Structure 1
Amino acid sequence: MAGQSLPQWPPEITDEQREALTLRATTYALSHGLVYLPPADVQPPVPTSAIHAPLALFPSPFPREHFELARRLQRDYNVLYARIAMDEEFLDNVMGAERGVGRVDEFTGQLWRLWKRLRDQGISQTRHLGLFRSDYLLHKEGEDAPLELKQVEFNTISSSFGALSQNVAKLHRHLLATTEYYNTSPILRLENLPPNDTISGLAEGLAAAHKAYGSPSAWILFVVQDGERNVFDQRWLEYELIEKHSIRVIRQTFGQLAVSAEVVPVSRILRLRLPGSLPRGAESVEISTVYFRAGYTPKDYPTAAHYETRYLLESSAAIKCPSLQLQLAGGKKVQQVLTTPSVFGRYASGSVIGDTEGLRRSWMGMWGLDEGGLEGVREARDQAQNLVLKPQREGGGNNVYKSDIPPFLDTLPAEEREAWIAMELIRTPGGLGNYLVRAGGGTAGAIKTEVVSELGIFGWALFGGPDGSVEEKEVGWLLRTKGKDSNEGGIAAGFSVLDSVVLVD
């Protein structure tokens, strides 16, 4: 049956072939911007070197039917999360600091209070932009069970690696074109390596927001982290915006914006004052769209002033990607509550969601640790070996798995249980390996290991306005591959490599 099994992987190659593929892969990566800044205690103001991003030597097999299903579902997820973000009462109840998880999760509470303050002052977002990524793993319940596509999470802020993922897909096509992978597998054919145009797709979303804002001469602001190593993934979007859409981009950290940003009274236009740094002697620029590649972790707000800078940006008329409410909509608690039939039915009504059953089937079982008094905790203890516990955090390294769950529950204060969800573990199929290549290993640095691959599908949605309309698209994909013994999947956190798919029937 199609998609029910995967081939043994990777194909057998000699040491000489491995070294040749590694050399070709690393030099291609360095030549085509598939790069990071090297680790440093403090990144220099002007980069002096770069290293290739961690990558897989072979594309990893993925069932064609599940790949196409994930792409189809993305458009429904775009609409679903747009509708959630516009439901203020729901977000107040689930994520708020008065009735929701923001009461016990300080970071969530801080974000919600900023949003509440805006509303109390009569400031609302007329339009929102989401650059989304929905992440999936293949699930196999038992030895004879069929493969299923199961969602890991839905990302509404700083959905990264779109640009570098496009480049690693091109890298694998290059290796196929130049070496034919030494004819080691019949599935390694061009028709099984799908194109990936994520850069143009994500830039199209940002350009759509810029156009909706209505000031062609305005710029787009990228809010970035101090010491960002993944800068090139962001720069590719910047280059696409200027070269294909004639839209200029400016990059600023929260610390820099505390000095440069101002909101003009009445019009609420966001301007950045940068005298001496702008074309034609301009003192300041108007901002059409604020794209957050920072702001998803408490570490991005080390002082109260950083939260105030976020508030200033949110109070402006610029379109935010994401707005505070859309960021809150991406919380793990929302993901869990959505699995409740009555809640999901509320957003799936009116034929706005095309494949409601497809969305439902993509979910694992989930519950809140605070459910039913002590029942949620008791179930988590009893089923610990089949679970992962998730807090309201992004960026990797935050989850608690299997045998670590009981001792964690022993130390978790009762009042903090509401901030955590329990999710059934996705049982990934075995027998898959790859060669993982990290910078600095030389031609012998491709390490063969058993792996798990996580598929991410990108999409964007521009929504709001007087009619609450949603303009959206599915725009590309990524594959992150990690060693089977690694629980986490964040590339920037050092647990994964960039990969691409070879589709199998």
Structure 2
Amino acid sequence: MLSESTEMASTSVLFEWPPTLSNAQIHELTLLATSYAFSNGLLYLPPAERQPPIPESAIHAPLALFPSPFPRSLFEHAQRLQHIYNVLYARIAQDEEFLDRIMGTENGVGKVDDFIGQLWTGWKQLRDEGLVQPLHLGLFRSDYLLHTPPGQSPTLKQVEFNTISVSFGSLSERTAGLHRYLQASTQYYNTSPHLRLENFPENDTIAGLAEGLAAAHKAYGDEKSWILFVVQPDERNVFDQRPLEYKLLEKHSIHVIRQTFDELGHSATLDPDTRVLRVSCSPDLHPNGFLEISTVYFRAGYAPIEYQTSCQYQTRFLLERSRAINCPTIALQLAGGKKVQEVLTQPGVLEYFLSNEKKWGNPMFDKQELQELRQSFMKMWGLDVGKDLLTPDYDALESGKEGFGVAKARELALSLVLKPQREGGGNNVYKDSIPPFLDTLPPEERQAWIAMELIVPANGTGNYLIRAGGANEAAVKVVVVSELGIFGWALFGDKGADIREKEAGWLVRTKGKGSDEGGVATGFSVLDSVLLVDG
């Protein structure tokens, strides 16, 4: 166990970061960092109304010059927790009764959230028809902040668990490489005793995520089949996606084809007898003019705006109706909903999924492991609940009156965030914006929102941030908040078969402390990496 003085010393790094640099040192590090980014694919396509068919230029991704200090013990703790989270969400996705109750259209979130309702309704119809592929693949990311109330040591608290289109695995590996390069080439000018190579952990996220996709491809059983990446049109973040494609080919001899929902609406077909999924392509590219698909990997499909008409929904359902292994299945996407995250904090729910050997078999988790998982939760509740913060207040919902869940959110607004069932950033409501938002929220929509206590980050941690594409591309020193994400994958679904799962790397996203949202692609954060400090 660390002594109190050692723990305090390590924690103090959070409040004394980054080291002081001269203007000449900042300029040189900025040149080295941006040159490394362009040389190693740490890039975005530039903003454009329409991206050209063949990329003509690129900009470097937004970057932090220094890695962000993070207690070594909490970093390792987050890696251990990922194995439990992999199993937990695999089991949630397999529990149709639970998902029907929480996310369905009868009494669940799908009743008041049209997007969730459309996905759930389609999934229910597919189940009634009979799904032919029992396997699910999940590529996951669990996001954390250091909770550091005044006078207290940091603890690890989960922001959210992501089950669809988890991004920045490839670019996070590149960013870790960038910071290791800066340390090796400059030692960061000996400005901090913490900037030693052993404190820069390796990050092999590309290989880790590709291993999960390759495991699904192998389980499908046809080595000549391809993996389908479902992507957004005019995607700028291609340099985060392509390295997975390259790794699949180089290490696993697996080919990838990329198509959008609209393209798949014309190209995807199912064999009526076998439900084999085939995607058509030019005979110039493949002699048969079509490709059999083993695995469907969604880097799209997480937001309502991607389903402009019923055609996109029907394409999504066609892919799930097939023999191909979906990553994620609709069930697994629904499992990642914020309402599920809230329900997991309720008494007995973790025990049901992680300690019920009769229902689930092995692996089982003991009380200490469940307690460690539970300690990563912040307090949260649904806006539709009564005084027990568990049961919906049906009287308040029917009368239109303000129930206890809403009243409590008003009372504690300055320490809360409200979250809907959405991914991709920019959807939440924070602090003093909460009361006026509640004034306009129809009572019937309360069920789609949860209230979550805000995590209190360390006050005073800084970094030098670099963004491309503006008039001033110099590094800017700001007070920041850094979010750690741990990647993992799980392949599961065969009755009686074990869940195959692994922890698969990590990322750090850093933003100015004044920004509530955290998305890199949405412009709020920059890419960063970890500097381990003992404590």
TM-score (norm 1): 0.98
SS at match of 1:136: strand
- 1:133 and 2:141 equivalent? yes
Of residues 473, 480, 495 in structure 2, which corresponds to 1:451? Answer: 480
SS at match of 1:469: coil
- 1:20 and 2:28 equivalent? yes
For structure 1, which runs of at least 5 residues remain unmatched after alignment?
none
CA contact (8 A) 2:146 2:154 kept: yes
**CA distance, structure 1, for counterparts of residue 354 and residue 501 of structure 2:** 16
Q: Which position in structure 2 is the counterpart of 1:357?
A: 371
**CA distance, structure 2, for counterparts of residue 443 and residue 384 of structure 1:** 36
| Change in 2 beyond 3 A, CA 1:3/1:335 | farther
**CA distance, structure 1, for counterparts of residue 172 and residue 284 of structure 2:** 32
Q: Which position in structure 1 is the counterpart of 2:334?
A: 328
Of residues 494, 497, 500 in structure 2, which corresponds to 1:471? Answer: 500
Residue identity in the other structure for 2:302: Y
**CA distance, structure 2, for counterparts of residue 124 and residue 286 of structure 1:** 16
- 1:343 and 2:349 equivalent? yes
CA contact (8 A) 1:10 1:433 kept: yes
Residue identity over aligned pairs, in percent, reads 65
1:139-175, Cα deviation, whole Å (9 max, x unpaired): 023x221210000000000000000000000000000
SS at match of 1:288: strand
Q: How does 1:378-389 map to 2 (within 5 A)?
A: 378-389=407-418
**CA distance, structure 1, for counterparts of residue 98 and residue 404 of structure 2:** 24
Q: By how many angstroms is 1:125 displaced?
A: 3.6
Q: How does 1:147-296 map to 2 (within 5 A)?
A: 147-279=154-286, 281-296=287-302
| Change in 2 beyond 3 A, CA 1:466/1:348 | closer
CA contact (8 A) 2:227 2:295 kept: yes
Give the number of equivalent residue pairs: 503
1:31-60, Cα deviation, whole Å (9 max, x unpaired): 000000000011111110000000000011
CA contact (8 A) 1:3 1:66 kept: no
- 1:375 and 2:404 equivalent? yes
Of residues 472, 490, 497 in structure 2, which corresponds to 1:461? Answer: 490
**CA distance, structure 1, for counterparts of residue 267 and residue 422 of structure 2:** 29
- 1:84 and 2:73 equivalent? no
**CA distance, structure 1, for counterparts of residue 207 and residue 350 of structure 2:** 32
**CA distance, structure 2, for counterparts of residue 103 and residue 314 of structure 1:** 22
Q: By how many angstroms is 1:477 displaced?
A: 0.1
**CA distance, structure 2, for counterparts of residue 156 and residue 480 of structure 1:** 18
Q: By how many angstroms is 1:440 displaced?
A: 3.5
SS at match of 2:90: helix
| Change in 2 beyond 3 A, CA 1:406/1:442 | closer
**CA distance, structure 1, for counterparts of residue 476 and residue 469 of structure 2:** 12
**CA distance, structure 2, for counterparts of residue 359 and residue 227 of structure 1:** 39
Alignment RMSD (CA, Å): 1.2
**CA distance, structure 2, for counterparts of residue 244 and residue 99 of structure 1:** 47
Q: By how many angstroms is 1:424 displaced?
A: 0.4
CA contact (8 A) 1:336 1:421 kept: yes
**CA distance, structure 2, for counterparts of residue 270 and residue 76 of structure 1:** 33
**CA distance, structure 2, for counterparts of residue 418 and residue 220 of structure 1:** 37
CA contact (8 A) 2:467 2:473 kept: no
1:301-334, Cα deviation, whole Å (9 max, x unpaired): 1111010100110100100000000000000000
SS at match of 2:499: strand
CA contact (8 A) 1:20 1:443 kept: no
CA contact (8 A) 1:3 1:65 kept: no
Q: By how many angstroms is 1:124 displaced?
A: 5.0
Of residues 413, 425, 428 in structure 1, which corresponds to 2:442? Answer: 413
**CA distance, structure 1, for counterparts of residue 19 and residue 445 of structure 2:** 48
- Single out whichever of 48-57 and 431-440 deviates more from structure 2: 431-440
Q: Which position in structure 2 is the counterpart of 1:121?
A: 129
SS at match of 1:341: coil
**CA distance, structure 1, for counterparts of residue 522 and residue 32 of structure 2:** 26
Residue identity in the other structure for 1:352: M
**CA distance, structure 1, for counterparts of residue 342 and residue 130 of structure 2:** 31
Q: By how many angstroms is 1:277 displaced?
A: 4.4
Q: By how many angstroms is 1:446 displaced?
A: 0.5
**CA distance, structure 2, for counterparts of residue 401 and residue 443 of structure 1:** 30
Q: How does 1:421-460 map to 2 (within 5 A)?
A: 421-440=450-469, 445-460=474-489
SS at match of 1:212: helix
CA contact (8 A) 2:466 2:473 kept: no
Q: By how many angstroms is 1:444 displaced?
A: 5.7
CA contact (8 A) 2:465 2:526 kept: yes
**CA distance, structure 1, for counterparts of residue 205 and residue 437 of structure 2:** 39
